[in-house]
Amino acid sequence: MVRTRIAPSPTGEDIHIGNLYTALINWAWAKKNKGKFIVRIEDTDRSRLVRDSEQKILKTLKAYGLTYDEGPDIGGPYKPYRQSERLDYYKKYAEELIDKGVAYYCTCTKERLDELRTLQQKQKQIPKYDKFCLVRQTDVKQEIKKGKQFVIRFNVLSGKEIVFRDVIRGDIKILSDNLDDQVLLKSDGFPTYHLAVVVDDYLMKITHVIRAEEWLSSTPKHILLYKAFGWDMPIYAHVPILRNPDRSKLSKRKNPVWASWYLKQGFLPEAVLNYLALMGWSHPKQIEIFNLEEFVKVFDLKNIKSVGPAFDQVKLEWINGEYIRKTPDSKLKSLIFESLEKKYPEDLIEKTVPLVRERIKKLADYLPLCEFFFEKPKKYNLDLSQKKDLLKRIYEELSKISSWKAEVIGEKMQNLAKKLGVKNSEFFMTLRVAITGKKISPPLNESMEVLDKKECLQRLDNLV
Partner RNA sequence: GGCGCGUUGGUCUAGCGGCUUAGGACGGCAGGUUCUCAACCUGCAAAUCACCGGUUCGAAUCCGGUACGCGUCACCA
**Binders in 133-152 for RNA, by CB under 7 A:** 149, 151
Q: Which stretch binds RNA (CB under 7 A): 5-13, 133-141, 260-268, 395-403?
A: 5-13
Question: Which of 65, 245, 328, 368 is the binder for RNA (CB under 7 A)?
Answer: 245
Asked whether the beta carbons of 20 and 259 are under 8 A apart, the reply is: yes
State yes or no: residue 63 binds RNA (CB under 7 A).
no
Q: Quote the least distance from Cβ 125 to RNA, whole Å.
A: 9
Residues in region 424-463 near RNA by CB under 7 A: 424-425, 428-429, 432, 439-446
| DSSP per position, 160-186 | -EEEEEETTTEEEEEEGGG----EEE-
Helix then strand then coil, in percent of the chain rounded to 5, is: 50, 10, 40
Phi-psi region at 159: left, alpha or beta (left = phi > 0; alpha = psi -120 to 50) = left
The one-letter amino acid code at 142 reads: Q
For residue 319, give the nearest of 361, 261, 355 by alpha carbon. Answer: 361
In terms of C-beta density within 10 A (0-12 exposed, 13-18 middle, 19 or more buried), how is residue 253 classed? exposed
Question: Which of 312, 350, 397, 455 is the binder for RNA (CB under 7 A)?
Answer: 312
Q: Which stretch binds RNA (CB under 7 A): 23-31, 68-76, 224-232, 309-317?
A: 309-317
Asked whether the beta carbons of 23 and 61 are under 8 A apart, the reply is: yes
- The residue annotated as part of the active site, out of 92, 148, 227, 252, is 252
Q: CA 366, CA 353: separation in Å to the nearest integer?
A: 9
The one-letter amino acid code at 116 reads: L
Of residues 88 and 341, the one with the C-beta less far from RNA? 88
What is the x/- site pattern for RNA, positions 377-396, by CB under 7 A? --------------------
Residues in region 339-358 near RNA by CB under 7 A: 358
Residues in region 94-113 near RNA by CB under 7 A: 108-110, 113
Within a 10 A sphere around the Cβ of 135, how many other Cβ atoms? 10
Question: Which of 32, 59, 62, 117 is the binder for RNA (CB under 7 A)?
Answer: 117
Q: Quote the least distance from Cβ 343 to RNA, whole Å.
A: 24
Q: CA 352, CA 336: separation in Å to the nearest integer?
A: 11
Q: Quote the least distance from Cβ 286 to RNA, whole Å.
A: 5
Question: Which of 204, 216, 353, 450 is the binder for RNA (CB under 7 A)?
Answer: 216
Q: Is position 418 annotated as part of the catalytic site?
A: no
Question: Which of 55, 248, 381, 415 is the binder for RNA (CB under 7 A)?
Answer: 248
Q: Which stretch binds RNA (CB under 7 A): 24-32, 264-272, 304-312, 344-352?
A: 304-312
Of residues 289 and 296, the one with the C-beta less far from RNA? 289
Of residues 127 and 345, the one with the C-beta less far from RNA? 127
Q: Quote the least distance from Cβ 195 to RNA, whole Å.
A: 9
Question: Which of 34, 51, 146, 247 is the binder for RNA (CB under 7 A)?
Answer: 247
Buried b / exposed e across 307-318, counting CB within 10 Å, b at 16+? ebbbbeeeebbe
Q: DSSP state, 248?
A: S
Q: CA 373, CA 53: separation in Å to the nearest integer?
A: 39
Question: Which of 174, 257, 272, 394 is the binder for RNA (CB under 7 A)?
Answer: 174
State yes or no: residue 294 binds RNA (CB under 7 A).
no
Residues in region 150-169 near RNA by CB under 7 A: 151, 169
Question: Which of 90, 93, 190, 395 is the binder for RNA (CB under 7 A)?
Answer: 190
Q: CA 311, CA 272: separation in Å to the nearest integer?
A: 11
For residue 19, give the nearest of 54, 70, 50, 52 by alpha carbon. Answer: 54
For residue 227, give the nearest of 332, 156, 300 by alpha carbon. Answer: 156
Asked whether the beta carbons of 259 and 60 are under 8 A apart, the reply is: yes
Residues in region 7-26 near RNA by CB under 7 A: 7, 9, 11
| DSSP per position, 106-120 | E---HHHHHHHHHHH
Q: Which stretch binds RNA (CB under 7 A): 214-222, 335-343, 374-382, 451-459?
A: 214-222
Residues in region 251-280 near RNA by CB under 7 A: 278-280
Q: Which stretch binds RNA (CB under 7 A): 188-196, 227-235, 331-339, 455-463?
A: 188-196
State yes or no: residue 45 binds RNA (CB under 7 A).
yes
- Angle in degrees, CA 11, 14, 16, rounded to 5: 90
Of residues 135 and 382, the one with the C-beta less far from RNA? 382
Q: CA 102, CA 140: separation in Å to the nearest integer?
A: 16
Active-site residues, by number, are 252
